[in-house]
């Protein structure tokens, strides 16, 4: 049985752990508020962009000179997987879930005999992917969110992806990130961005979409402008969603860690008191039996 001194040391150490986790929870909560706001404010642009693309693409599909970003290269032999995780750990299953989904996808691709390349965002997934797939890594980016102009950063990622696509390095590009639902729930999402899946246009809405529009300059020219921009926007949105998810996951992980530490302190205190009581009783018995013997 542990001595009283050992127990005391144990209790103090758990208490300081609890202080740290609860402080981390507070920090994550305030960062979450900011990240969630940013993610929500970015949604209108992405939505409007999508509806605009939907209108345009509905008319443009099947036309000559259609962009490869929309129709694909005509094959799906090689994939680019953009995996996004956090830069730091201590956020529950957040990083692990994303990496697991990425591995699953890689394994499926390997089974089908397709080739793949990996672009990582966030140092956690780079470190993890490097162990197994170092030969397939084509790029990395982990500066997101450290400076103010974050859209420029997403654009930068978008540009390097575009350059690889233009060079014919891959046919299909998929983003893997966690979509933010609430502080408790984040869904790991696989989103295909190249070729861009044409959003469904309401069939009944025909007059309002497609044919009714006038284009300035021409629909194909607008598409050539719009598609690379849409790629950057989708990456930007994924980065923001991921940022909010990370903070949410960290907050709930730290919350349960704080609660666990509390429970642990309770049981340790109980053992401590019992041991102390037992020790006093033993001492008393010794004194009494000593006195009786005289």
Q: How far is the CB of 46 from another protein (least distance, A)?
A: 8
58 lies in the binding site for another protein (CB under 8 A): no
44 lies in the binding site for another protein (CB under 8 A): yes
Q: How far is the CB of 83 from another protein (least distance, A)?
A: 22
**Residue from the set 213, 220, 271, 275 that interacts with another protein by CB under 8 A:** 213
Coil, helix or strand for 84?
strand
Q: How far is the CB of 219 from another protein (least distance, A)?
A: 7
Name the burial class of residue 163, with classes exposed (0-12), middle (13-18) and buried (19+) by CB atoms within 10 angstroms of its CB: exposed
Judged by CB under 8 A, the chain residues 62 through 121 that form the site for another protein are none
DSSP state, residue 271: H
Enumerate residues 6+ apart whose C-beta is below 8 A from 18: 258, 261, 262, 265
56 lies in the binding site for another protein (CB under 8 A): yes
**Residue from the set 33, 34, 48, 100 that interacts with another protein by CB under 8 A:** 48
**Residue from the set 13, 30, 41, 279 that interacts with another protein by CB under 8 A:** 41
Q: How far is the CB of 81 from another protein (least distance, A)?
A: 24
Q: How far is the CB of 48 from another protein (least distance, A)?
A: 5
Note whether 32 and 183 are within 8 A (CB): yes
> Does the annotation count 125 as an active-site position?
no
Q: How far is the CB of 236 from another protein (least distance, A)?
A: 6
133 lies in the binding site for another protein (CB under 8 A): no
**Residue from the set 151, 189, 198, 220 that interacts with another protein by CB under 8 A:** 151
Distance CA 123, CA 92 (A): 16
Binding region for another protein (CB under 8 A) out of 47-55, 74-82, 98-106, 130-138: 47-55
Binding region for another protein (CB under 8 A) out of 65-73, 76-84, 218-226, 259-267: 218-226
50 vs 76 by CB, closer to another protein: 50
The 3-class secondary structure across 85-148, one letter per residue, is CCCCCCCCCHHHHHHHHHHHHHHHHHHCCCEEEEEEECHHHHHHHHHHHHHHEEEEECCCCCCC
Catalytic residue from among 91, 193, 238, 261 = 91
Binding region for another protein (CB under 8 A) out of 45-53, 61-69, 93-101, 117-125: 45-53
Judged by CB under 8 A, the chain residues 153 through 192 that form the site for another protein are 154, 159
23 lies in the binding site for another protein (CB under 8 A): no
Enumerate residues 6+ apart whose C-beta is below 8 A from 57: 70, 196, 198, 199, 223
What is each CA distance from 246 to 31, 108, 290, in whole angstroms? 10, 26, 65
Nearest to 140 by CA among 160, 163, 170, 166: 160
215 lies in the binding site for another protein (CB under 8 A): yes
Report the alpha-carbon angle 242-245-246, nearest 5.
85
221 lies in the binding site for another protein (CB under 8 A): yes
Judged by CB under 8 A, the chain residues 245 through 284 that form the site for another protein are none
Note whether 93 and 245 are within 8 A (CB): no
Give me the active site residues, please: 91
């Amino acid at each position: 049985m542990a001595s009283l001194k050992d127990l005391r040391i144990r209790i103090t150490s758990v208490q300081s752990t609890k202080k740290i986790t609860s402080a981390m929870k507070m920090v994550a909560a305030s960062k979450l508020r900011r990240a969630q706001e940013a993610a929500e404010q970015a949604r209108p642009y992405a939505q409007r962009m999508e509806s605009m693309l939907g209108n345009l693409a509905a008319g443009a599909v099947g036309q000559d000179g259609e962009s490869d970003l929309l129709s694909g290269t005509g094959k799906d032999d090689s994939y680019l997987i953009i995996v996004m995780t956090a830069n730091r750990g201590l956020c529950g299953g957040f990083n692990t879930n994303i990496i697991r989904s990425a591995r699953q996808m890689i394994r499926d691709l390997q089974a089908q005999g397709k080739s793949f390349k990996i672009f990582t965002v966030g140092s956690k997934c780079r470190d993890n992917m490097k162990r197994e797939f170092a030969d397939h890594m084509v790029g990395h980016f982990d500066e997101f969110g450290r400076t103010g102009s974050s859209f420029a950063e997403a654009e930068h990622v978008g540009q390097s992806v575009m350059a690889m696509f233009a060079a014919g390095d891959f046919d299909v590009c998929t983003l893997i990130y966690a979509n933010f639902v609430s502080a408790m729930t984040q869904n790991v999402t696989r989103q295909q961005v190249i070729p861009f899946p044409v959003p469904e246009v309401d069939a009944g809405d025909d007059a309002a979409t497609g044919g009714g529009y006038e284009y300035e300059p021409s629909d194909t020219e607008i598409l050539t402008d719009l598609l690379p921009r849409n790629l950057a926007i989708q990456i930007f949105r994924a980065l923001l969603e991921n940022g909010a998810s990370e903070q949410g996951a960290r907050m709930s992980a730290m919350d349960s860690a704080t609660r666990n530490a509390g429970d642990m302190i309770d049981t340790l205190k109980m053992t401590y008191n019992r041991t102390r009581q037992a020790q006093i009783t033993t001492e008393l018995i010794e004194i009494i039996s000593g006195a009786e013997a005289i």
